[in-house]
Structure 1
């Protein structure tokens, strides 16, 4: 008769066996997790199978995301060239003076990544053909495959498809005109405008690659303007179509492009910026003086827009004689955000309420220095998501 040996125990099972928290009820474990910062939750998911099953389970993920959505935060991307380091800093959007969190991440020392607005707790950054996706709440970043292109001008947008629960990056490239060709295009309206020639999409996940797409609308993206926005599984960005500024949209689920005409307004055509205002796609236009116009898209299929004029004090009234400022967004409260360039030390921005006609200065301590380049994003939601290696 063969002597039965003792069944071997896997390392994971051994850890679970000696986990003192294994006797706690699920409700108490969930309550404990909800009180921890996202970085600690992500690390705890590697302690044992029990913690991992809770943290990565759909019930806890939905609960945590619901709370995060109800408590949006300000997110700052700070690049310090003297330290060759880029880090993220977040604080409460309702009360920026409280609940500060900072995550440092040393990227390629010779590169400064440009980040798109965060979506669902994740953020996308790109420098030339290099691209990364990260969770600024946990400090984890993963590299994506290089963008396959020989073109000079690259434009990318980050978005989320809620139906299929997929994150995607849309990337477009165009030849940059230089020298006499660029001058001829600026001076001669009959000169053919360079168009976006390559359209690619990347779906976040293991063993994924850039896939080429076809776009039936010959247009040129505005790489120097805002980075576009994502709403309900569709990304929107401004572009030139038929020699007029238009709004392009890309459905992340069907991967189809659409074009929407903009109102015939000179200031809108020259100075428009896309924002998500009160749940609607809005273009904010503001020249060097006069009111700030909000063009709200009421019906995309009919290309119907409504105009709301917000009387904003002159820049001199808000910032003094320094006119080098930029519109940054609109808070859910309706306050208009204007920030100074270059980033001041200490860093601050102005919130103007067009209804009450009042302005307040919001100072963020601990992130500003004379050489720092700071980008601010609104309505950021924290996430404990752990990213898998892409390749």
Structure 2
């Protein structure tokens, strides 16, 4: 005779005793809105009632609307070893870039795959090593999702991560080209471009292309002729721009794309005040773009820098300052700073 297994009632009892069920829904939302994403992620598994609120798209939109008014610096810290690779993310206030006001999460990743991350987009971030790619939320502590491998035998791969606001989906674009010895004996260097949509059919789709801009909604490329042969592309007050490297006296030249359809560019030259007093002459610097506040950001090329710092220039007030991130642990670790990071409680789904 088969022995009857007694079903555990722990989960049901936890739901019955859920204190959040007794509170008005508006109050629960207000409580969650005041919490950092990592705490929200924990509550999702502690309360079935709160989980239904957290996973609702309307709550995510409401939370991100508030977060967009309080953008942060996201610092990626990578340390490796013989047995493990740890990717840590620190989220710091842009108003007070110190560890007295930060949140930290860490992820154990494949020790043989040092991922290269793209800038975060609406709370999520994408990393790639070869044909292997991962996507996750650096603020929640949720494990990164591994995407299907990019189907290509080519060694030259460039990846981009973006958000399609019309269809409310995140997309990854991979551009592959023949590289090195693969080009020999071929008169034409062909290119392959593939797109992956999170939460869709869980596969890469081949698309036709020309270059150089890509529309995430229509998934079409549009050719844009550059006014100068400069590879550094930045966001300048909401517009696409290419920029020269800062000179010794802090002079920077920018070519701003005013109209993509008409191929119209304008040129702006900026001299950062007190530049020579703010920088270390032993380092080269790059222009990283503008914050949502309008401030221009410059950071050293050479990493790691200890202490970690960057130069912020307020165009309206014509004031430049050196912003130092204090108390960053593991000074020899590999680090990168991403600006205007918007924290999100969203959970990734392939």
Query: What is the TM-score with the length of structure 2 in the denominator?
Result: 0.87
For residues 332-367 of structure 1, what are the alpha-carbon distances to aligned partners after superposition, in whole Å with 9 as ceiling and x for unaligned?
333322222122112111213345443212111233
SS of equivalent residue, structure 2 residue 113: coil
Report what 1:244 is aligned to: none
Contact 1:54 1:60 in 2 (8 A): yes
Matched position secondary structure for 1:59: helix
Say whether 1:76 aligns with 2:75: yes
Structure 2 residue 328 is matched with structure 1 residue 326: no
1:137 aligns with 2:132: no
For the aligned residue pairs, the C-alpha RMSD in angstroms reads: 2.7
Secondary structure of 1:118 counterpart? coil
Q: Are the equivalent residues in 1 in contact too, given 2:278–2:322 (CA < 8 A)? A: no
Q: 1:68 to 1:109 in 2, by over 3 A?
A: same
Structure 2 residue matching 1:125: 3-state secondary structure = strand
Residues 1:313 and 1:371: Cα distance change in structure 2 (over 3 Å): same
Distance in structure 2 (CA, Å) of the matches to 1:70 and 1:37:
15
- Take 1:68 and 1:370, find their aligned partners in 2: how far apart are those partners? 29
Residue pairs, 1:223-302, within 5 angstroms: 248-263=212-227, 268-270=228-230, 272-286=231-245, 288=247, 291-302=251-262
Q: Is the 8 A contact 1:297 1:304 kept in 2?
A: yes
- Determine which of 333, 336, 340 is the counterpart of 1:379: 340
Runs of at least 5 residues in structure 1 that lack an aligned partner in the other structure:
1-7, 183-190, 220-247
- Cα distance in 1 for residues equivalent to 2:175 and 2:110: 23
The question of 1:162 aligning with 2:165 is answered yes
Which residue in the other structure is 1:241 paired with?
none
Separation (CA, whole Å) in 2 of partners of 1:342 and 1:9: 53
Tell me: CA distance 1:46–1:260, structure 2 relative to 1, closer, same or farther (3 Å).
same
Q: Deviations over 1:130-149 (max 9, x none)?
A: 10001000122111111111
- What's the CA shift for 1:193? 7.5
User: How many angstroms does 1:207 deviate by?
Assistant: 4.8
Does structure 2 retain, via aligned residues, the 8 Å contact 1:328–1:339?
yes
Matching residue of 1:229: none
CA apart distance, 1:330: 2.0
Contact 2:273 2:319 (C-alpha < 8 Å) held by counterparts: no
Aligned counterparts of 1:179 and 1:25: Cα–Cα separation in 2:
63
Residues 1:176 and 2:170 are matched in the alignment: no
Shift of 1:300: 1.1
2:274, 2:320 within 8 Å by CA — same for their partners in 1? no
Aligned residue for 2:295? 335
Query: How far apart, in 2, do the equivalents of 1:339 and 1:92 lie?
Result: 18
TM-score calculated relative to the size of structure 1: 0.79
Q: CA offsets, 1:220-279, max 9 Å, x none?
A: xxxxxxxxxxxxxxxxxxxxxxxxxxxx1111222111111122xxxx413x42222222
1:161 positional shift = 0.4
- 2:325 aligns with 364
SS at match of 1:46: helix
